[in-house]
């Protein structure tokens, strides 16, 4: 397995956008599959936020994604955020999400940030196991979410 910035594999952008829309489209009112893909194309950076990463198997097939972005939680001034961590069901429980989280942490550190944030409704234990600190719970667009942070 290896992890690369999406800008090195633009052919994978449509699949990454489709995963993200299916998983989190409801959290982004007005978003469509096409607008999510357009936003993703703006995240194809290496040396500045936002950056989307992809995990690739030994045949360079897509097996996961995660992103480093600004302003994930509307109205919240904290930045930057780890977001859009997704591993397809057939590849779960093999440490791929953990490796993606570490990659995003390292990218944020490299770009000079000393703290990183995330919110999750589905996997707080995953991040707690990787050293993230639980902050507040709150309701956000119909979900009960846990905000977490990590000192870099």
Ligand X SMILES: CC(C)(COP(=O)(O)OP(=O)(O)OC[C@H]1O[C@@H](n2cnc3c(N)ncnc32)[C@H](O)[C@@H]1OP(=O)(O)O)[C@@H](O)C(=O)NCCC(=O)NCCS
At residue 73, what are phi and psi to the nearest 5 degrees? -110, 105
Residue 9 token pair: 């594999």
Taking CB under 6 A as the criterion, the residue among 125, 134, 137, 141 binding ligand X is: 125
85 binds ligand X (CB under 6 A): yes
Q: Which stretch binds ligand X (CB under 6 A): 31-39, 95-103, 107-115, 136-144?
A: 95-103
Taking CB under 6 A as the criterion, the residue among 2, 26, 94, 110 binding ligand X is: 94
Contact 94, 129 (CB under 8 A): no
CA distance 44 to 26: 23
Residue 58 token pair: 């030994």
Q: Which stretch binds ligand X (CB under 6 A): 10-18, 35-43, 117-125, 135-143?
A: 117-125
Query: In angstroms, what is the C-alpha Rg of the chain?
Result: 14
Q: Which stretch binds ligand X (CB under 6 A): 42-50, 68-76, 115-123, 131-139?
A: 115-123
- CB neighbours of 99 closer than 8 A, spacing ≥ 6? 1, 3, 55
- Nearer of residues 32 and 122 to ligand X, judged by Cβ: 122
98 binds ligand X (CB under 6 A): yes
Binding site for ligand X (CB under 6 A): 23, 85-87, 92-98, 120, 122-123, 125-126, 129
């Amino acid at each position: 397995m290896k992890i690369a910035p999406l800008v090195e594999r633009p052919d994978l952008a449509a699949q990454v956008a489709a995963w993200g829309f299916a998983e989190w489209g409801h959290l982004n009112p007005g978003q469509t599959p096409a607008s999510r893909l357009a936003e993703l194309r703006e995240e194809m950076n290496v040396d500045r936020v936002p950056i989307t990463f992809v995990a690739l198997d030994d045949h360079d097939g897509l097996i996961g994604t995660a992103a480093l972005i600004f302003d994930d939680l509307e109205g919240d001034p904290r930045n930057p955020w780890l977001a859009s961590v997704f591993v397809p069901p057939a590849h779960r429980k093999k440490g791929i999400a953990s490796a993606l989280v570490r990659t995003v942490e390292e990218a944020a550190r490299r770009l000079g940030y000393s703290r990183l944030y995330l919110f999750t409704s589905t996997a707080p234990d995953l991040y707690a196991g990787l050293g993230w600190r639980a902050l507040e719970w709150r309701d956000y667009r119909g979900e009960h979410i846990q905000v977490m942070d990590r000192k870099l």
